[in-house]
Amino acid sequence: MTQRTSFHGSGALAFSTKGEYGVRLMVQLGRRWGTGPVSLTEIAVDEELPRPYLEQLAIALRDAGLVVSTRGAHGGYELARPPEAIGMADVLRALEGPFAPMICATEDEVHGPGCDRTARCTVNLLWLRIRDAISDTLESVTLADLVPQRAIAAETLAARDRDRALATSST
């Protein structure tokens, strides 16, 4: 009997805190799209997340080309492209790695197929379908879909009210 690589519990079906916190970080950056760099301290406070952990996630997202960083007093992170151009599959792959409910169904060409039974295994079809369903779902969602429209509407209304107040006070 051949030794099989241990692969269970890869996080593919239950995303880790890396995925959860990273998505929350990206949503915060999406809310602030076009306003310049945002400090991780500000996001950590808003999301009640540990700043050092956000730093690690931001580096992974930067390395994947999803965010850019700016150094200095007014530095921070911002999206590398508009929210509607950032797929959630790209975000989660950058944070979690390839989607793979089982090693025989990994998207990672380097590590798959790692099971000697793949050629004759009928269960493999199930794992492939699960992987593809997860991937297809995440491919269909962009960061813009997750940026709350309520927040955008509230910010737009607040800006309109400020403009009206300024117009009224200057007359």
pLDDT at residue 121 tops 70: yes
pLDDT at residue 9 tops 70: no
pTM, two decimals, is 0.74
Query: Tokens for 143?
Result: 């960061």
Main-chain phi, psi angles of 23, to 5 degrees: -65, -40
Rounded to the nearest 10 degrees, the angle between the axes of helix 51-63 and helix 40-47 is 120
pLDDT at residue 8 tops 90: no
Contact assessment for residue 103 and residue 7, using Cβ atoms and an 8 Å cutoff? yes
Total structural domains within the chain: 2
pLDDT digits 0-9 by tens, 128-147: 898 899 899 999 999 999 98
Average pLDDT of span 109-118: 62
Main-chain phi, psi angles of 69, to 5 degrees: -115, 150
Give the residue numbers spanning the domain of 126.
Answer: 98-140
pLDDT at position 101 is 74
Average pLDDT of span 87-111: 80
d(CA 112, CA 123): 16
Specify whether 62 is located in the same domain as 124: no
Specify whether 37 is located in the same domain as 20: yes
Average pLDDT of span 100-121: 67
Domain assignment of residue 164, yes or no: no
Rg (CA), the chain: 21
CA atoms within 13 A on the CB side of 54: 24
Q: Beta partners for 142? A: 87
pLDDT at position 151 is 58
